[in-house]
Amino acid sequence: MDEFRHRPLPRQPHPCLLSRIARLGDSADRACRVDGRGRMVIRTATLVLALALAAPGAASERRLVFFSVGGGELDVGYDVAVRAICAEVNAAHAGRLRCSPETTPGSRYNVEALKSGDLGFGVAQWDLAKQAAADAPGGPLRLVARLFDETFVLLTRPEAGIARLADLAGRRVDIGQPASGRHVSARALFDATGVDTDAFSTLLTLPASAAVDALCADRVDAVALVIGHPAAIVARALDACDARVTPLSAAERRAVIAAQPAFHEGFVPAGAYAALSRDAPTVALSAALLARADQPSTVVGALTRTLVDRRAALGAATRLLADLDPAAMADATDGPPLHPGARDAFAAAP
């Protein structure tokens, strides 16, 4: 138990944390969030320093280290995965660690918040993590683990007549909030395939759930997602709105992979959705759990060991985490280097 004591994580706490100290149980997991414009309401590197500042004896009495993990939009992909991970961390390290899942606008926000220190941990698309590492070699981002593959999914209304990316011209297209990873990836994908977003009749930047609502209500013709499977939001679009998954052609996939090497060949699996009769070819990339380099190795190591040791429970909690493999999880090729705590945990894994 003592390995987690007296190891306060760096960064000063946001005043919002101090105002919530009295409610630190399960309710603290949702105490402070990101507002609708993607602005962080708290500085979430840790709560342990806030505890010490608010009540000098409280931290030692509880012997708890609190930390937060930035996920994504509520009840979508990253948020689901992070909640499952935090639940297992809290079960495995009860009385020593407390992991709090934080809803955020998504990958782009998480990467920027990690760089600035507003987050200590967060999930992000591998293309954004890779770019951040390339832009600042030796910068603050470190890999904890690659978690799962997610694919580019183009959901379309059947009457819109969209059979390929070029058919998006003159259509109403949503690409996600600017702070989301799907927004960045959609723009990169369209650039790689020669799709001019200025040719869309309307370019929308909605949260994913609102975008699918708009698709169902005939306010949008196409929604671009980057998401792991199965995804409840994709199932809703297919089942309730008769939406279609428009595949990428071989030429489109080659163009994307050539321009964005973080992507690789992938498919939207038919087995994940009753309404999808066959696999839909597309491109895919990894979702990765990242940490700041200054996070203590004891905490990062405990988090990594939980991912390795409790793989079965994580897979039972969400199918997004059903295929965790330690070798693949530790692959830091062309991206942020492994955090030393994660490296040691993977080295000790059976």
User: Quick one: average pLDDT of 90-102?
Assistant: 95
What are the DSSP calls for 232-243, one per residue?
HHHHHHHHHH--
Where residue 220 falls among pLDDT bands split at 50, 70, 90? very high
The pLDDT of residue 315 is 96
CA distance 171 to 69: 37
- pTM for this one? 0.81
Where residue 75 falls among pLDDT bands split at 50, 70, 90? confident
Q: Where are the domains of the chain?
A: 2-147+288-348, 150-285
- Asked whether residue 177 carries a pLDDT value surpassing 60, the answer given is yes
Question: How long is the chain?
Answer: 350
Asked if 2-147+288-348 and 150-285 have one fold, the answer is yes
CATH 3.40.50.720, domain 150-285, yes or no: no
User: Quick one: average pLDDT of 54-65?
Assistant: 56
The pLDDT of residue 194 is 96
Where residue 60 falls among pLDDT bands split at 50, 70, 90? very low
The mean of the pLDDT values for the chain is 86
Lowest-pLDDT range of 29-43, 50-64, 304-318, 335-349:
29-43
Q: Which of 259, 262, 257 is nearest to 285 (CA)?
A: 262
User: Quick one: average pLDDT of 268-273?
Assistant: 92
CA dihedral 53, 109, 344, 1 (to 10 degrees): 30
CB of 181 closer than 8 Å to CB of 106: yes
Lowest-pLDDT range of 41-50, 141-150, 163-172:
41-50
User: Quick one: average pLDDT of 85-114?
Assistant: 96
Where residue 62 falls among pLDDT bands split at 50, 70, 90? low
User: Quick one: average pLDDT of 254-264?
Assistant: 96
- Asked whether residue 135 carries a pLDDT value surpassing 70, the answer given is yes
Higher pLDDT, 61 or 188: 188
- Give the CATH superfamily of 2-147+288-348: Periplasmic binding protein-like II (3.40.190.10)
User: Quick one: average pLDDT of 174-200?
Assistant: 95
First to last CA, the chain: 23
User: Quick one: average pLDDT of 233-237?
Assistant: 94
In DSSP terms, which residues pair with 66 in a beta bridge?
Answer: 98
Lowest-pLDDT range of 22-26, 174-178, 263-267:
22-26
Higher pLDDT, 210 or 46: 210
% residues pLDDT > 70 (the chain)? 82
Rounded to 5 degrees, φ, ψ at 39 are -95, 130
